[in-house]
């Protein structure tokens, strides 16, 4: 065999070896590197999204603070916190509102709190919290003007009081002479809690 | 003078060498590429991934989480508050409207209001049925009233008229 032929044979073996190195060593590692690059890109995207979300929450939280949320939270939260003193507090509030407007409360009764989802309210599905509704029935005595003032006061309360039913009737029983212009008012209102 | 009579060295042709050298160079280059990727680039990428994963886990700080929790509470409170407020009728507005359209010579009593169906029923009494006619004319033109229905109209010999009236108020009035 001539030297040239031997060289060609060795060169051929080396070329095959080169293909083998590409196929079985370089190519898998290159694929692995590509995969890791895409993983890095995905993680970087994730970090960017998280940072954007955090910036958004931080800005929103700042806006909330600037809007006086700390004080408003207590006012709004009073509508939704539940406590063992809910009924006495509600009775006290309603009696106070009535007496501040010159009405005498002869009686207050209340229902049990009902999960608003079990009621017929049209808006119930829009609520996000577990809102419960309690109906209070008040029997009041006073003038129509006082009653109108009471309704205005109720509507301007931070605590939401929904007026459901009103009935205005002549005074039927009263100890002593009935003051002029006095009427009996039955007022049915809803208060809310979580 | 000595004469070299040993075998003469034949020079290899250059193309024979190139045939061998080139593949060997390519082979060395291939191994270098492999070692670069396997022992430099891939470990670099691995350490970068570890660094980024650690960065993500460090992003969940307590203060951010408490802000998010507070925002969620605010969102639920404000949303529920707004819905309940929007659905609480302003009954005082009805009384203002009632004062405006009620006939001055008709005495109304036994007023009943059901805000959920916007229904008002009231008993009226007046000295002459002309006042009732005037009242009906006013009700027909009153923008805040959706519909009305009269019932139990009683006219006495003296012309004194009593009646029941049931009204449906427009939703806009109570907002």
pLDDT score of B5 = 56
- Under an 8 A CB cutoff, do B90 and A148 touch? no
Q: Is 3.30.70.60 the CATH number for A86-193? A: yes
Q: Is the pLDDT of residue B4 over 70?
A: no
- Under an 8 A CB cutoff, do B87 and A123 touch? yes
Q: What is the mean pLDDT of residues B112-124?
A: 93
B55, burial (CB in 10 Å: exposed 0-12, middle 13-18, buried 19+): middle
pLDDT score of B9 = 57
The answer to whether A154 and A142 have CB atoms below 8 angstroms apart is no
Q: Is the pLDDT of residue B3 over 70?
A: no
Q: Which of A36, A80, A131 sits opposite B42 (nearest CB)?
A: A36
CATH code of B91-174, in short, is: 3.30.1360.100
pLDDT score of A129 = 85
Among residues of chain A, what percentage have pLDDT more than 70?
98
Summarize pLDDT for B104-114 with one digit per residue, the tens: 999 999 999 99
Q: How confident is the prediction for chain A on average, in pLDDT?
A: 89
CA distance A166 to A184: 10
Summarize pLDDT for A91-134 with one digit per residue, the tens: 999 999 999 999 999 999 999 989 988 888 888 889 888 889 99
- In chain B, where are the structural domains located? 18-50, 91-174
User: How big is the A-B interface in CB pairs under 8 Å?
Assistant: 171
Q: Does A10 touch chain B (CB under 8 A)?
A: yes
pLDDT score of A119 = 86
Q: Is the pLDDT of residue B10 over 60?
A: no
- Under an 8 A CB cutoff, do A61 and B115 touch? no
The structure tokens listed for A20 are 């083998």
- Under an 8 A CB cutoff, do A37 and B89 touch? no
DSSP letter for each residue of chain B? -----SPPPPPPPHHHHHHHHHHHHHHHHHHHHHHHIIIIIHHHHHHHHHHHHHHHHHH--HHHHHHHHHHHHHHHHHHHHHHHHHTS--HHHHHHHHHHHS-TTEEEEEEEEETTTTEEEEEEEES-HHHHHHHHHHHHH-TTEEEEEEEEEEE-TT--EEEEEEEEE-GGGG-
Q: Does A17 touch chain B (CB under 8 A)?
A: yes
- In chain A, where are the structural domains located? 1-67, 86-193
Summarize pLDDT for B40-80 with one digit per residue, the tens: 999 999 999 999 999 988 887 788 888 888 888 888 888 99
Q: Is the pLDDT of residue B155 over 60?
A: yes
Q: A76: closest CA among A2, A142, A19, A160?
A: A160
Which stretches of A42-172 are assigned E, i.e. beta strand? 104-110, 114-115, 132-143, 162-170
Chain B residue with minimal CA distance to A152? B92
Chain A residue with minimal CA distance to B17? A7
Question: Consecutive sets of 10 residues in chain A, 194 residues long: mean pLDDT of each?
Answer: 83 94 95 96 95 90 89 79 82 94 93 89 87 93 93 90 93 73 92 86
Q: What is the mean pLDDT of residues B145-163?
A: 92
Residues 35-74 of B with CB under 8 A from A: 37-38, 41-42, 45-46, 48-49, 52-53, 55-56, 59, 64, 67-68, 70-71, 73-74
**Is residue A7 classed as helix, strand or coil in its secondary structure?**
helix
Q: Is the pLDDT of residue B2 over 70?
A: no
Q: How confident is the prediction for chain B on average, in pLDDT?
A: 88
Q: Does A62 touch chain B (CB under 8 A)?
A: no
**To which H or E segment does residue A83 belong?**
none
């Amino acid at each position: 065999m001539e030297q040239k032929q031997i060289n060609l044979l060795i060169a051929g073996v080396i070329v095959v070896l080169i293909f083998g190195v590409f196929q079985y060593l370089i190519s898998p590692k290159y694929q692995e590197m590509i995969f890791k690059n895409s993983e890095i890109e995905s993680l970087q995207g994730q970090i960017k999204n998280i940072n954007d979300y955090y910036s958004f929450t931080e800005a929103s939280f700042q806006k909330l603070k600037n809007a006086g949320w700390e004080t408003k939270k207590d006012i709004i939260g009073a509508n939704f916190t539940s406590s063992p003193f809910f009924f006495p507090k509600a009775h006290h509030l309603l009696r106070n509102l009535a007496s501040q407007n010159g009405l005498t409360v002869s009686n207050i009764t209340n229902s049990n709190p009902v999960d608003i989802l079990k009621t017929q309210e049209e808006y119930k599905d829009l609520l996000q919290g577990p809102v419960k509704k309690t109906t209070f029935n008040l029997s009041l005595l006073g003038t129509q003007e006082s009653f109108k003032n009471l309704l205005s006061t109720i509507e301007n309360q931070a605590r939401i009081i929904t007026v459901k039913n009103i009935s205005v009737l002549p005074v039927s029983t009263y100890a002593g002479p009935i003051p002029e212009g006095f009427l009996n008012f039955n007022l049915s209102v809803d208060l809310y809690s979580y | 003078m000595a004469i070299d009579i040993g075998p003469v060295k034949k020079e290899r042709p250059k193309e024979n060498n190139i045939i061998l050298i080139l593949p060997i160079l390519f082979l060395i280059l291939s191994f270098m590429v492999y070692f670069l990727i396997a022992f430099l680039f891939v470990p670099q990428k691995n350490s970068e991934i570890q660094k980024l994963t650690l960065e993500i886990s460090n992003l969940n700080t307590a203060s951010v989480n408490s802000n998010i929790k507070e925002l969620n509470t605010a969102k639920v409170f404000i949303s529920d508050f707004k819905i309940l407020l929007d659905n609480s009728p302003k009954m005082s507005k009805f009384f203002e409207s009632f004062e405006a359209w009620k006939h001055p010579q008709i005495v109304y009593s036994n007023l009943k209001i059901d805000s959920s169906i916007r229904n008002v029923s009231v008993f009226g009494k007046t000295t002459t049925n002309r006042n009732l006619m005037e009242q009906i004319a006013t009700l027909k033109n009153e923008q805040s009233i959706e519909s009305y229905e009269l019932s139990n109209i009683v006219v006495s010999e003296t012309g004194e008229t009593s009646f029941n009236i049931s009204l449906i108020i427009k939703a806009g009035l109570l907002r």
